[in-house]
Amino acid sequence: MTSYTGGAHGAHWTEVHNLLTTPLRSLSIEELFEDPTAGLKSISDFAITELLKSGAPDSVRDERWVREGAGPDPKNFRAFNLTSRGVLVTFDEYQVASYAEGVSEVHVPYDVVAGRLHPPLAAKVMDRDL
């Protein structure tokens, strides 16, 4: 989505809707895990590592910015998608990097979080293509 509110450039944000079908309802990042604190920490640690090593050679990726924007806070992981291989996390502009660097994505393989997922959910997402 995009919006122009004045200034040098517009504001963009990612809208993601993850749904459980039985019963039909939204799924939050915390609900993926038996222990949400440990689950968020594992996703956060992986994302921070990937973001810090993925910056372009001439980019000035601020480690503090990355650690705050990808820290283990549920609001940092509101834009996630479950894929056949793992959890795709989208970080909007200014969340972990400057506007010029654009949107950042980190694909967290299921094997990184497999031991932390709710068992019924793990069986669903790891045994079929999404």
Name residue, tokens 């509110």: 5
pTM metric for this prediction: 0.82
pLDDT attached to residue 130: 44
pLDDT band at 73 (very low <50, low <70, confident <90, very high): very high
Q: Look at residue 4 and tell me whether its pLDDT is greater than 60.
A: no
Averaged pLDDT score across all residues of the chain: 83
pLDDT band at 5 (very low <50, low <70, confident <90, very high): low
Give domain limits for the chain: 2-126
More reliable by pLDDT, 125 or 130: 125
Q: Percent of the chain, pLDDT > 90?
A: 45
Helix (H) or strand (E) segment spanning residue 108:
strand 104-109
CATH of 2-126, one of 3.90.640.20, 3.30.43.10, 1.25.50.10, 3.40.50.2300: 3.90.640.20
pLDDT attached to residue 79: 95
Tell me which residue of 64, 124, 130, 73 sits closest to 97, measured CA to CA: 64
User: What is the per-residue pLDDT across 12-62, written as a single tens digit (0 to 9) for each?
Assistant: 777 787 777 777 788 889 999 999 999 999 999 999 999 998 765 555 568
**Burial, 58: exposed, middle or buried (Cβ in 10 Å; 0-12, 13-18, 19+)?**
exposed
